[in-house]
A = this chain, B = another copy of it.
């Protein structure tokens, strides 16, 4: 059987069973955005994200600086989704021998910008030659309280700390390879090439969040992780999902349904969380609620529709 027939999650499921964890200092192992261990009373988070040329990024469409920025951001997003802040990182590079030095130099300049922005350091690494460019970041974070995907409870509300769908619209615009772009199009492209993780949400999450995940596979797919791992029914209220004016302009211009983007666009790196509290904070959108049951539903003008879970498979 080929690994692609098992799919990303089928494969992970089989492999993790081979290496069970037996360590009382491990607070959280597989199955969440980060693993978590207890070191002298501190909750330390580990996450890693391997980015492969032509699968995660396209040298022909994205600048090396943006690729470096994004490598850091996607990992920071995983740490934030566990309620934490990033502390230290290590990198593994696989580079083709004939790769021009300026490429990786500029990736590092983008990494540096992101490290300065998120305020942590790269402290070690490792290089090998490879046939395609591989950038693999290991990020160590710290949290006061570990926020899991699997702890949503009936009666809670669902919140996001930003807009969804922008990144996918940006990727589509980039793929059009147009000579010129309108201003709103440039902003959408930037949402894809240079996602900004809102680390200042950490305090709110620590105070109020229960279940938490970052939206990398798409709103519905990631809410699906919360719903199925928490064993609850989650309901998105259609009219409450915020539509960014740039996405609106995009959908109008290219005759697209914004909900394809809002619900299924990936790589938003927006935080989705549940809370029993009725929050009214700036830039935090209440988009749904949690009930007894199972699955992901959309409430559209009093009609409840079960949503199909479809997200990005990395394999």
Report which A residues bind B (CB closer than 8 A): 1-6, 8, 11-12, 14-16, 18-19, 21-23, 25-26, 29-30, 34-35, 37, 39-42, 44, 46-52, 55-56, 87-88, 90-102, 104-105, 108-109, 111-112, 115, 120-132, 134, 136, 138, 140, 314-315
Contact = CB atoms under 8 A, between A and B. Distances in A.
A59 to B, nearest CB: 14
A55 B127 CA distance: 12
Total copies of this chain within the assembly: 2
Given A2-B101, A19-B108, 11 more contacts: A3-B99, A4-B98, A35-B90, A35-B124, A37-B140, A50-B92, A50-B128, A52-B130, A127-B315, A130-B134, A136-B136
Contacts of A126: 47-50
Nearest to A2: B98
Contacts of A39: 39-40, 42, 44
B138 A90 contact: yes
Contacts of A52: 94, 128-130, 134
Chain A residues touching B, majority SS: mixed
A206 B111 CA distance: 36
Nearest to A44: B39
Q: Which 3 A-B pairs have the closest CB atoms?
A: A35-B124, A4-B97, A40-B40
Contacts of A100: 1-3
Contacts of A101: 1-3, 5-6, 11, 14
Contacts of A108: 15, 18-19
A50 B93 CA distance: 8
A243 to B, nearest CB: 31
A201 to B, nearest CB: 23
A109 B49 CA distance: 23
Contact of A21 (B23, B98, B121): B121
A50 B12 contact: no
Contact of A48 (B21, B92, B97, B315): B92
